[in-house]
Amino acid sequence: MLENKEYKEVLKREGLKNTKHRTSILEVMEHSEVPLTAEEIFIRLKEWNVAISLSTVYRVLETLVTKDLVNKSSISNDSKALFEINRMEHKHHLVCMGCKKMVSVEGCPFEEFEKKIQGTNGFDITGHKLEIYGYCAECKHGK
Amino acid sequence: MLENKEYKEVLKREGLKNTKHRTSILEVMEHSEVPLTAEEIFIRLKEWNVAISLSTVYRVLETLVTKDLVNKSSISNDSKALFEINRMEHKHHLVCMGCKKMVSVEGCPFEEFEKKIQGTNGFDITGHKLEIYGYCAECKHGK
DNA sequence: TTAGTTGCAAATCGTTTGCATCAAG
DNA sequence: CTTGATGCAAACGATTTGCAACTAA
């Protein structure tokens, strides 16, 4: 499962050593539709029989974030950070308040709105984050 | 500075005892334009000569959040939680990535967008959160 | 009186770091 | 070889909790 050539180049391009840990972590994220916590990545690596320590997961993720290969975020009122591979596509998520499941949603209503407030207060806008909360089909019925 | 009658009723309505700590915390939040951390609230209380412990601040805030009198949130990649009094008005903020200053912004482009994805994936949407990132006038120049 | 509230210190949780070892270039 | 990457355990910062003392109702 774990043998990807393209990551070797990505890492080299960024001046990072090509280690199994790094490519494996990138693969785990590549295979996930939704952002993952460091611990979830750690667990998936174990399932793939990749021996690694949790602190290395954190260190690799931090490195990848500074290289802009990975995005770090979090959902409100949850203490754990989330990481997702930077696919360079602009996406938002529906977050279920019951099970914390996240679902991608197409589209973004901001291109214009952002321009509208661009310049307001002298602010130089670089980006935004949108989270939509609610209850997924399963959790809705449980309520 | 600290003597508000209306909070006594708010607390009673929610079945909470009326204590000086609770009304004081509500007042601190009432007087702030932007969300505050528990520690910032703690410090302002000290400035107002209200003796309180930090753990009580956390406990009171948690209680107020469950009663929906206060909203808890956080800005991305920052480990501290933010609290603001629930003014029942729908607002979003510009967050400066330099100094973390927050500025309120008028308007919200979502009423329609939210309806558009309402029902998608069986999701029952209850709300959303939008943060707009950038650099404020001062930090922009420092860059 | 009594159920809910508080202070204090210790515990917890996610994350980071120091240091000695190891491996990619 | 040399620099960067890793594991481990200890440190960290924000938040939570156990418990005994207190106080609003």
**Domain CATH number, residue A79:** 1.10.10.10
B137 shares a domain with B104: yes
A84: β partners: A71
A84 shares a domain with A33: yes
Give the residue-averaged pLDDT of A65-78.
89
Residue owning tokens 């948690």: B62
Task: Give the 3-state secondary structure percentages of chain A, helix then strand then coil, rounded to 5.
Answer: 40, 20, 40
> pLDDT tens digits for B64-95?
999 999 999 888 778 899 999 998 888 888 88
Say yes or no for a CB contact (<8 Å) between B129 and A131: yes
Indicate the residue among B70, B88, B106 that finishes a domain: B88
Which 43-72 residues of chain B approach strand C with CB closer than 7 Å? 51-53, 55-56, 59-60, 63
Q: How far, in Å, CA of B9 to CA of A49, rounded? A: 59
The band of A2, judged by pLDDT with boundaries at 50, 70 and 90, is very low
Chain A nearest-CA distance from B61, in A, is 13
Q: How far, in Å, CA of A133 to CA of B16, rounded? A: 28
Say yes or no for a CB contact (<8 Å) between A94 and B117: yes
Q: The CATH number of the domain where B104 resides is what?
A: 3.30.1490.190
Mean pLDDT value across chain A:
86
pLDDT, position B2: 42
In degrees, to the nearest 5, what angle opens at C-alpha B56 toward C-alphas B51 and B61?
A: 120
pLDDT, position A110: 79
In degrees, to the nearest 5, what angle opens at C-alpha A40 toward C-alphas A39 and A41?
A: 90
Q: How far, in Å, CA of B80 to CA of B64, rounded? A: 18
> pLDDT tens digits for A17-35?
999 999 999 999 999 988 9
pLDDT reading at A1 higher than 50: no
Read off the pTM.
0.86
Tell me which residue range forms the domain holding B6.
Answer: 1-88
B64 shares a domain with B18: yes
Strands B82-85 and A82-85: unpaired
Q: How far, in Å, CA of B133 to CA of A127, rounded? A: 5
